Amino acid sequence: MSEVSDSGVAWTIVGQGLAGSCLAWELWRRGVNFCIVDREGGIAASRVAAGLVNPVTGKNFEPSPMIGEFLPEALEFYRRIEENLGVVLWHPLPIMRLAGNDDEWAKMQAKAARADVKVWVGRELAKQEIDGWAGGFEISGGGRFDVKMFVDRTREFFQAQGIYRKDEIAFDRDVKVRVWCDGAAGLVLGRHAEARCAKGEILTVRATGWDEARIRVGAGGWLVPLGEGCYKLGSTYEWERLDMEPSEAGLERLRRIAMKLGGADFEIIAHEAGVRPILRRSEPLIGPMSEGGWMFNGLGSKGSLYAPGMARRLALWILNGQEPEGHFDIRAFRKRL
């Protein structure tokens, strides 16, 4: 199944965000001949992501699909890469999931009784912990994956081996050994299927006296401790203007989330924006493209959770012809549209 190009390089991974980086490690550990290329500019997501992994998410307080398979796989992947790179990338932390009103709290309590939700839900938060909130649960199994350190160190690692280069690759249907991991930049070209990418803005803040031991999720946002009094705070969703420019409106929204989850007193260290690649909510898709080459995209808001498991599935498919669950196959997804 493996094809080799004229240059002798078997595979070219186009894009070195979370998707391309995870795939690169999967090919590397199998001894495959490949190179990885990134243009280091334009719209992207991994450079700004907070790396939050939250097993039970959203307004509906639902477990992420197939989390029972993807979370252990992601943790095993993080551990392996930590060993290879000699850095700490995964920071497990309990999550405080807070309900803004009685309806939300009633829904969360009902869901918490369901077997697939119960496994992640810990104690109900005490009155003094939820001042100003209708209720809350502690959630286990989550934490923060240091996405920026992961992609930066991965680039350095492969650069040192001469298999990473900065370049912009134009699409060519005749080159079948390219794997497109080009995130929202690729999706907005409409190549795979109709996409619904979302710009997100995020703050890095410094504050004293805020809870550093737990991630807080509520009020449509999250507050993720980084250590030494710093936090990532996010995030906004904007569907029309897909650019990398932080905006005044975004800042206003983030300030409101900060007030609810942390407090009024904080210093802004950075205000950044990125574009999430979305094809089907946050459920990724992989597979051969009818136009030539392969694709790995659509990680949405959950790249940290899904990228490792999807990269392994794609590596097995490309190298051994082992197809993944049909649910992840871009060809099946396109047929249903």
Ligand X SMILES: Cc1cc2nc3c(=O)[nH]c(=O)nc-3n(C[C@H](O)[C@H](O)[C@H](O)COP(=O)(O)OP(=O)(O)OC[C@H]3O[C@@H](n4cnc5c(N)ncnc54)[C@H](O)[C@@H]3O)c2cc1C
Closest separation between CB of residue 264 and ligand X, Å? 23
Q: Does 89 bind ligand X (CB under 6 A)?
A: no
- Residue 125 vs 275, nearer CB to ligand X: 275
Q: Which helix (H) or strand (E) holds 50?
A: none
Binding to ligand X (CB under 6 A) within 68-87 occurs at: none
Closest separation between CB of residue 57 and ligand X, Å? 10
Among positions 18, 112, 195, 315, the unique one binding ligand X when judged by CB under 6 A: 18
Closest separation between CB of residue 275 and ligand X, Å? 6
d(C-alpha 92, C-alpha 74), whole Å:
12
d(C-alpha 81, C-alpha 87), whole Å:
8
Closest separation between CB of residue 113 and ligand X, Å? 27
d(C-alpha 65, C-alpha 56), whole Å:
10
Q: Does 37 bind ligand X (CB under 6 A)?
A: yes
| Eight-state DSSP code of residue 68 | H
DSSP string, 301-329: T-HHHHHHHHHHHHHHHHHH-----GGGB
Which 3 state secondary structure label does DSSP give 60?
coil
d(C-alpha 324, C-alpha 151), whole Å:
25
256-294 core/surface letters (b: 16 or more CB in 10 A; e: else): ebbebbbeeebeeeebbbbbbbbbbebbbbbbbbeeebb
Q: Does 184 bind ligand X (CB under 6 A)?
A: yes
For ligand X (CB under 6 A), the number of binding residues is: 42
Q: Please give the backbone phi and psi of residue 75, each rounded to the nearest 5 degrees, phi first.
A: -65, -40
Among positions 225, 246, 303, 308, the unique one binding ligand X when judged by CB under 6 A: 303
Q: Does 304 bind ligand X (CB under 6 A)?
A: yes
Q: Does 286 bind ligand X (CB under 6 A)?
A: no
Which 3 state secondary structure label does DSSP give 208?
coil
- Residue 134 vs 193, nearer CB to ligand X: 193
Residue nearest to ligand X (CB): 17
d(C-alpha 268, C-alpha 242), whole Å:
23
Closest separation between CB of residue 72 and ligand X, Å? 16
Among positions 12, 46, 154, 204, the unique one binding ligand X when judged by CB under 6 A: 46
**Residue 178's closest CA among 28, 4, 332?**
4
The interface mask with ligand X, positions 234-273, x = CB under 6 A, is xx--------------------------------------
Q: Does 187 bind ligand X (CB under 6 A)?
A: no
Among positions 73, 104, 182, 283, the unique one binding ligand X when judged by CB under 6 A: 182
Q: Specify burial of residue 156 (Cβ count, 10 A radius: 0-12, 13-18, 19+).
A: exposed
Among positions 10, 169, 175, 319, the unique one binding ligand X when judged by CB under 6 A: 169
Strand order, beta sheet including 135-139: 121-124, 135-139, 95-99, 215-218, 221-227, 230-234, 198-206, 267-276
Binding to ligand X (CB under 6 A) within 109-168 occurs at: 168
Closest separation between CB of residue 189 and ligand X, Å? 9
Q: Which residues lie near ligand X (CB under 6 A)?
A: 14-20, 37-39, 42, 44-46, 48-52, 168-169, 181-186, 200, 202, 234-235, 274, 276-277, 297, 299-305
